[in-house]
Chain A
């Protein structure tokens, strides 16, 4: 079964608007991470939220985690054209699966100048 499914698959907004992406997962987790990927390049770690945390901020990023619903959201405020990229959530289940990330299929974000 797929762990970490993002919604929507694609999001198109204007510069200055906020972008919200959602992620759902199926099993218990140790932490959930968000990554950005620019067109066919490597992934860049954005933010990590632990299973006992509910909200976390980093610059223009805000992540929430609801373990009862097995879901997370990533909010990018005041978006810029440079935020155009694919965004992935990844879950780390811990235990014997420690360090083995399971990724979703990602949300493609396009920010128009």
Chain B
């Protein structure tokens, strides 16, 4: 375990379903991130939260809705997704400064 825990590890959902991804960190980091990793594409930053406040929405469609109730938890609420949204969704946290970031193991999402 890296200190960043993501659940579930795998998720299959229909296009009309509503589901949520969860991320939890107890590393004392103030910033948390959602990234999307699709086949043959670089990791794409989706959302950034600093001290529970969203500071970045990288033009993500509204069918992805993030929530950060506190600095240790981050959610990604999903609804009416498309098959092209199938990807590995990675959560990360970082303490800022010249330090690396800690990633979770990801949620492998398949939209059918």
Contact = CB atoms under 8 A, between A and B. Distances in A.
Chain B associates with chain A: yes
Interface of A: 2, 4, 30-31, 33, 35, 40-48, 50, 88, 90, 98-106
B103 A44 contact: yes
B42 interface: yes
Given A2-B42, A40-B108, A105-B41, A48 B103 contact: no
Contacts of B40: 105
Interface residues of B, number: 28
B98 interface: yes
Given A40-B88, A41-B106, A44-B2, A101 B42 contact: no
A42 B42 contact: no
B42 A105 contact: yes
A49 B98 CA distance: 8
